[in-house]
Amino acid sequence: MSVRPAGKNAIIFIFITVLIDMIGFGLIIPVMPALLHELTGLDANESAVMGGWLMASYAGMQFFFAPIIGGLSDRFGRKPVLLAALGGFTIDYLIMGFAPVFWLLLVGRILAGIFGASYSTANAFIADITPPEERAGRFGMIGAAFGIGFIVGPAIGGFLGEWFGPRAPFFAAAALAGLNFIYGLVVLPETLSPENRRGFDWRRANPFGSIYQMRHYPVALVLMGAIFLMLFGHAVYPAIWSYYSTFKFGWSEADVGLSLMVVGLTAAIVQGGLTRILVPKLGEWRAIILSLSLAVVAYTAYGLVTEGWMVYVVICVAAIGGIGQPALQGVMSRIVPANAQGELQGAMTSLQSLSMVVGPLLMSRVFKYFSGDSAPVYLPGIPFYLAAGLTFLALLVGLQARRHAARAAAASVPTPAEAASDTPVASGVMPKRD
């Protein structure tokens, strides 16, 4: 496949791809308690455990397949990987929409996890076509797509679920993925030039191998520890949000969708607008520290709220913490060379997936245990307190990474571009790779 310059349509396609992925994901979140009740007869706090298994199976497949997908995109290019994933999503949402039993719904989530591993390729696509100093802004744009997806997806999914039943959002998601597949066939260029491609290597194309390769970049390795803890805490949102709000506040599918729409709107404002202003002014490291600190406050507040309207106040505080994710990606992407961006993004997606394997299983069980009649202490908000503790640990590890980066920078001579940034690199010379 030939390589041609990536124009505006290519950026739009990546934006729309992530947007549609998140719309499709957001469409189904508000209806999961109702669908699981239809299939199993369980109430929200009890079905949360089954929802945890659905989430963990999705994330487990991403964990194992993200580095494989990233390695394939480094070998064969970004376009075929992205298009294959979109085609797979179309079929997968149809399977879940027609699922008559829980195990078939589980199969659908497993397939969705495999196809969803292509998110690392979308990030690598952005790294291919963006100068290093502009990547935080572009990654922020991708974050904005996430936010917009959560504006549109849950709102539509909630109302579709109330009007047409809990299966309707799955068919809507299938239609969106199919349309974007057709759009990609027409407009998407290949951005990875032949000289930057490399052979497929199983040592790298596995979740442990891709993370192991990051040992060449000490700052990145320490940051990955912080990222894992942060994502582990963040897993509380997809794990129990629908079930927690349904159980504690008696929200309907539309209520859940509306709350997630507000989450998406505030995230889009922050990551699509404030990120470009705040990150350059604060510097990437200070933005990361501020982000994690605000997340600790927000998680604690979610566990303490007693009325549904209070959730919306906390959402606004939590949204400002969204400036940290693109800043983290900007730091990480400058530490590794151009021909390893797919590997880096695969490793980061694997960490996210690993946190989403463990997180939902733990959070849903803690939620069920402390919200049941036999609970030693009735405390349904305890998963959010656990998320706050994990994020505080991530903050401590992030501070350690910053000190490590400062020592590494002091031992090397910075380039003019590095001198203009408050983000030190691990070394002025990229180390030899295996």
The pLDDT tens digits for 46-86 are 888 888 888 888 878 877 777 777 777 777 777 788 888 88
CB 18 within 8 A of CB 145: yes
Residue ranges per structural domain of the chain? 8-190+203-417
CB 334 within 8 A of CB 135: yes
What Å distances lie between residue 411 and 403, 404, 414, 428, 431, CA to CA? Answer: 13, 11, 9, 9, 15
Angle at which helices 119-129 and 135-164 cross, to 10°: 150
Determine the Cα–Cα distance for residues 402 and 390; give it in Å rounded to an integer: 19
The closest alpha carbon to 341, from 10, 74, 18, belongs to 74
The CA-CA-CA angle for residues 147, 150, 155, to 5°, reads: 145
Full-model pTM: 0.70
Q: Which runs of consecutive H residues, i.e. helices, occur in 377-415? A: 382-410
Determine the topology of domain 8-190+203-417 in CATH.
Growth Hormone; Chain: A; (1.20.1250)
- pLDDT value for 119: 64
What Å distances lie between residue 31 and 45, 108, 153, CA to CA? Answer: 14, 16, 12
Helix, strand or coil, per DSSP, at residue 235 = coil
The closest alpha carbon to 279, from 138, 145, 418, belongs to 138
Q: What are phi and psi of 325, to 5 degrees?
A: -65, -55
Determine the Cα–Cα distance for residues 134 and 120; give it in Å rounded to an integer: 18
Determine the Cα–Cα distance for residues 348 and 212; give it in Å rounded to an integer: 12
Token pair in block for residue 268: 């889009």
13 in the Ramachandran plot: left (φ > 0), alpha (ψ -120 to 50) or beta? Answer: alpha
- pLDDT value for 3: 47
- pLDDT value for 131: 75
The closest alpha carbon to 147, from 34, 263, 5, belongs to 263
- pLDDT value for 199: 67
What Å distances lie between residue 13 and 117, 125, 132, 179, 181, CA to CA? Answer: 17, 11, 21, 12, 10
How crowded is the C-beta side of 186, counted as CA atoms within 13 Å?
Answer: 8
CB 315 within 8 A of CB 259: yes
The stretches in the chain having pLDDT less than 50 are 1-5, 413-434
Residue 147 CB-density burial (10 A; 0-12 exposed, 13-18 middle, 19+ buried): buried
- pLDDT value for 421: 47
The closest alpha carbon to 40, from 130, 123, 119, 103, belongs to 103
